Amino acid sequence: MTISTEALKYSAAGSELHGHLAYDDAASGVRPGVLLIHEWWGLNDYMRERAAQIAALGYVALAIDMYGEGKIGSSPDEAGALMTTVLNDMEIGTARLQAAFDALADHALVDNARMGAMGYCFGGAMVLHMARIGMPLRAVVSFHGALGSFHKPAAGEVKAKILVCHGAADSLVPDDDVANFKLEMKDAQADMDFVAYEGALHGFTSRDANDNGKKYGLPLAYDEIADQESWQAMKDLFSQVF
């Protein structure tokens, strides 16, 4: 196995976006494509590591850029400002998601009938938005993602299978959001699994969460068991749908 990586630039709504592509160069033939959407920090080394892990599973992974020009926040204030810019104009946010989808779907190694998406925190909210608006994805996976809705889907509008991996002790995602999300998915007749990991806080998949939590006074923590179990659940889902 030889994991190759390359920069993949694409554009949306007048902005140049700097994605990161990863795939097994030793494999032959087309394969499913998986979009990875970053935390509020932006497309950083953590997302590149996850992209390599997805490529090692036999998929073409594209870690996408939701901020434009590869911008990364170096503090919670910077990251929050970048994230808020997207959340305050989801017309542009949706255009960036669609452009990333198209860029991956058009890649020569990708079977564009077998596409999925996964995201962390902010990225979790974005993959759920993709599912809500009916983008042609086989499955989406949210890891400790925000659950609030920018679009309430009609019954049957959600095409993707949905897996939400949530920290049961995540104080950054209100209990009301959890309840409202489950009701929204029920009303939409979505195929959705919601897994809450006991004792897990926000950011439970990131090994940097402990340091960031201490450094910035945020309720974040890495949880090895929740990380491993949620990753296995994602692998099982992608194996099923692809």
Choose between 1 and 56: higher pLDDT. 56
**Amino acid making up residue 198:** E
Range of the domain at 235: 3-241
Q: What is the DSSP string of 5-20?
A: EEEEEEEETTEEEEEE
Please write down the long-range contacts of 170-174, taking CB distance under 8 Å and 24 or more positions apart: 170/144, 170/200, 170/201, 170/202, 170/204, 170/219, 171/201, 171/202, 171/219, 172/202, 172/219, 173/144, 173/145, 173/146, 173/147, 173/202
- Each residue's pLDDT tens digit, 183-211: 999 999 999 999 999 999 999 999 999 99
Give the residue-averaged pLDDT of 128-146: 98
pLDDT at 13: 86
Closest by CA to 197, choosing from 162, 161, 219, 222, is 222
Distance between CA atoms of residues 78 and 197, nearest Å:
29
- Cα separations (Å) of 62 from 1, 6, 69, 177? 18, 10, 15, 29
Output helix, strand, coil percentages for the chain, rounded to the nearest 5.
Answer: 35, 25, 35
Condensed to tens digits (0 to 9), the pLDDT of residues 94-114 reads 999 999 999 999 999 999 999
> Measured over all CA atoms, what is the biggest interatomic distance in the chain, rounded to whole angstroms?
47
CATH number at residue 119: 3.40.50.1820
Backbone dihedral angles phi then psi of residue 139, each to the nearest 5 degrees: -160, 155
Q: Give me the amino acid identity at 172.
A: L
Rounded Cα distance between 138 and 57, Å, is 16
Quote the distance between the C-alpha of residue 147 and its chain's center. Answer: 12
104 closest CA partner among 45, 212, 32, 194: 32
Instruction: Look at residue 1 and tell me whether its pLDDT is greater than 90.
Output: no
CB 112 within 8 A of CB 106: yes
Give the chain's domain count: 1
